[in-house]
Amino acid sequence: MELAILNIKGEDTGRKAQLNDEVFAIEANEHAIYLDVKQYLANQRQGTHKSKERSELSGSTRKLHKQKGGGGSRIGDINSPLLSGGARVFGPRPRDYRFKLNKKLKALARRSALTLKAADNQVLDFTIDTPKTKDFLNITKNLKLDGKKVLFVLKEGNKNVSLSARNIQGVKILTAADVNTYALLNNKAVVLAESSLEVINNL
C-alpha cells in the first residue's frame, strides 16, 4: 500500500510512503481488537472502590428488640443492611482489574486496528524547531483535521512536538513503539510521521 507524503502545509511532496501490507492490509480480527481494548481499559481502573460491611461499621451490636412477640419483623443490630445507614451486603472491595493477554494476540489486534484505520491514515514529513501551539494548530488546519480527534505517531519522543500539542483538545501524541489498539480506534484520523514508518511497518 502506498500513501502520498504531505508537508506541514498539507501539500503533496511528490514522494510516496510504502506501507507494509502485513500490517496495514490484513484480515482484521475483531475479537482480538475487543480483548485488547478491554484489557487496556481494565488496566486504567484504579480499583480503589470500597464500601463498609457489617463488621466494619462503628454502630452498636446490641439487638434492637427481641426476636419474637413484638408484632414486627425480626431484626438484629443497628448495622443491619436492611436499615438506613446500615452496612452493605457483599459491597465492592479494592481489587486489581488487570489481566494478561499474549503478545501475539496484542500484535494481531494492533495490526487489525491499523488495517481498519488505513483509509484515515496520512503520512507527514514535518519537524517543529520551537514549541509553539499556534504552529501545530496550523498543521492540523492544513491537514483538514482541526476540531477532530487525531493521533500523531512519531518515531521517538520529541519535546517540541509534545509541548506544542499538549494544550490542543483532541490531539494525542504517541511514539511508534507505544502505539496501541485503543488509541488507534479512539481517534478519527492517524497521522504518521515519515520517520515512524521504520517502526510501524515492523509491528
Tell me: the pLDDT tens digits for 142-153?
999 888 999 999
Output the pLDDT for position 79: 93
Give every strand in the sheet of 12-18, ordered side by side.
12-18, 2-6, 121-124, 189-193, 150-154, 171-175
pLDDT band at residue 39, thresholds of 50, 70 and 90? Answer: very high
Tally of CA atoms within 13 A in the half-sphere of 175 that contains its CB? 7
pTM exceeding 0.85: no
d(CA 170, CA 8): 19
**What pLDDT digit, counting tens, does each position of 44-66 carry?**
999 999 999 988 999 899 999 99
d(CA 122, CA 153): 10
Alpha-carbon distances of 117 from 57, 150, 180, rounded to whole Å: 52, 12, 13
**What pLDDT digit, counting tens, does each position of 64-88 carry?**
999 999 888 888 999 999 999 899 9
pLDDT band at residue 109, thresholds of 50, 70 and 90? Answer: very high
